[in-house]
């Protein structure tokens, strides 16, 4: 049995990186090298995310809330206004949010809708 952080590391992180990379390239017209530089990962990793060799978790890709929050974080990354530490903190928040919504299969209660703050 995997613990929550093992699932986050093996499934959630690659899936979120894939969503963010795709948004930077398709939504902001960056090339793979530019997206890689902004995300702090390699261009070959970006290529693998785009080809779905890495980060192909359907539970993440089918959740509109997760996709929306990943797009918000992509916007923050594109604007390049935060230091790496703050971006990492926001990515961790997004990972926890995605884990609650996908890995554990929880449905968010209505009062929980505004709790995450990525942007």
Q: For position 114, what pLDDT does the model report?
A: 44
* pTM as predicted: 0.79
More confident residue, 119 or 15: 15
Q: For position 101, what pLDDT does the model report?
A: 83
Q: How far apart are CA 41 and CA 58, in angstroms?
A: 22
Digit-coded pLDDT (tens) for 81-111: 889 899 999 999 999 998 888 755 544 434 3
Digit-coded pLDDT (tens) for 30-56: 999 999 999 999 999 999 999 988 777
Q: CB-based contacts of 42: which residues, under 8 Å, 6+ apart?
A: 36
Q: How far apart are CA 57 and CA 90, in angstroms?
A: 20
Q: How far apart are CA 106 and CA 86, in angstroms?
A: 27
């Amino acid at each position: 049995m995997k613990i929550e952080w093992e699932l986050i590391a093996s499934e959630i992180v690659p899936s979120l990186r894939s969503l963010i990379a795709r948004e930077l390239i398709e939504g902001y017209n960056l090339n793979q090298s530019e997206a890689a530089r902004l995300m702090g990962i390699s261009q070959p990793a970006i290529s693998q995310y785009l080809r779905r060799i890495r980060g192909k978790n359907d539970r993440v890709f089918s959740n509109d809330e997760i996709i929306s929050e990943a797009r918000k974080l992509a916007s923050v990354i594109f604007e390049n206004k935060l230091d790496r530490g703050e971006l990492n903190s926001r990515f961790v928040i997004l990972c926890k949010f995605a884990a609650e919504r996908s890995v554990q299969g929880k449905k968010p209660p209505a009062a929980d809708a505004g709790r995450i703050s990525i942007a």
